[in-house]
Amino acid sequence: MHIQHTADDHRGGRHQRQHHHAQYNKHHAQESLTTRVSKLICAVFLSILFTVGLVTFILWLSLRPHRPRFHIHEFSIPSLAEPNGFSNVHVTYNVTAQNPNLDIGIYYDTMNLTLYYQDQTIAETPLLFPFYQSSKNTAIVYGTLSGPTLRINYARWIQLLAARKQGSVPFRLDVASSIRFKVSAWDSRHHKMHANCEIGVGSNGMLLESDKEKKCPIGITICYVEISVKVHEGGSVVGNKSLVAFCQGRKNSVTEEVVIGGDQQLRGGGVAGDGGLRMTVETVFKYRVLNWKTKIRHMGFEGFVRSGSEGNFSENIYLHKIP
């Protein structure tokens, strides 16, 4: 009886254990089912996120505005090949601006043309703009520079003729434009850009064959926030000058004359030809690529000037960078 009871009890216990076991299995199955479902949801969610990201990236790639592309087709100074060309000097140019965007229009609000010879401006003119360019359209910018617009004096003409004898005369044509993109109903901010056509004119006065249809790259601009030039003599500043803030296009050089005098007298020693003077140039600037500017950078340069007995400083001194 006792034993039976025990057996009964035992049987009951086993039954109960079996029941527990089944419940445990069921619970386990339920649990793994929920993990599987949540894993599946997670995977679906992640792949949706990835697809949306990819589609957005592709849309951004295809819809983001591209800057116009500039090419030079013609450029000539025909009178360069004539015996009395100086009396009749004029320049003709033909540059195209292409809008490479599929669905984005471009407003050209201003466009200025500057012609350089050895980094000296020899012509500068605003073009008759503004205009709107629809997508995939090519605008032809052509014209003639002559008369007062063209700053070619006789001395420069002689330089051009000498360069012509060497084979080709190098020029740089800068097309500066202020543009806005039009994406459906939305207008972007202004973007200022410079297209730089580096070209050569052959001895016949025409654009070199190798430069025809040449692409005019769009350069990085450097914007100076501050340029400060100082002349030091024996530890004290004897002269200084700050230049006003300006932006400088690609391959552009700037010449500034710094006159130090008046109340800023150079004291005795510098003129007498002793230890000389130390000159420093400190610049604060930002790079600008299209509309994006880098953070402000600082750079300092210094060089030493030794004066002649007459007190003139005519040598070219190299200013090395101060770390």
Ligand X SMILES: *[C@@H]1O[C@H](CO)[C@@H](O)[C@H](O)[C@H]1NC(C)=O
Residues of this chain that bind ligand X (CB under 6 A): 73-74, 94, 96, 110, 112, 126, 140, 142, 176-178, 192, 237, 240, 308, 310, 312, 314-315
E strands of 20-65, at which residues?
none
Closest to ligand X by CB, 72 vs 160, is 72
Smallest gap from residue 323 Cβ to ligand X (A)? 22
Pairing of β 320-322 and β 297-305? antiparallel
At 141, give phi and psi (nearest 5°): -110, 105
Which amino acid is it at 17? R
Nearest to 109 by CA among 78, 88, 132: 132
For ligand X, the closer CB: 139 or 150:
139
- Find residue 264's DSSP bridge partners: none
Q: How far is the CB of 213 from ligand X (least distance, A)?
A: 7
Separation CA 143–CA 77 (nearest Å): 12
* Two structure tokens written together for 314: 């005519």
Half-sphere exposure of 225 (CA within 13 A, CB side): 12
Q: Which is nearer to ligand X, 76 or 163 (CB)?
A: 76
Residue, CB closest to ligand X: 308
CB of 146 to ligand X, least distance (A): 16
Q: Which residue has the tokens 């060309």?
A: 85
Give me the least distance between CB of 163 and ligand X, in Å please: 25
CB of 43 to ligand X, least distance (A): 52
Nearer to ligand X, 73 or 250 (CB): 73
Nearer to ligand X, 110 or 168 (CB): 110
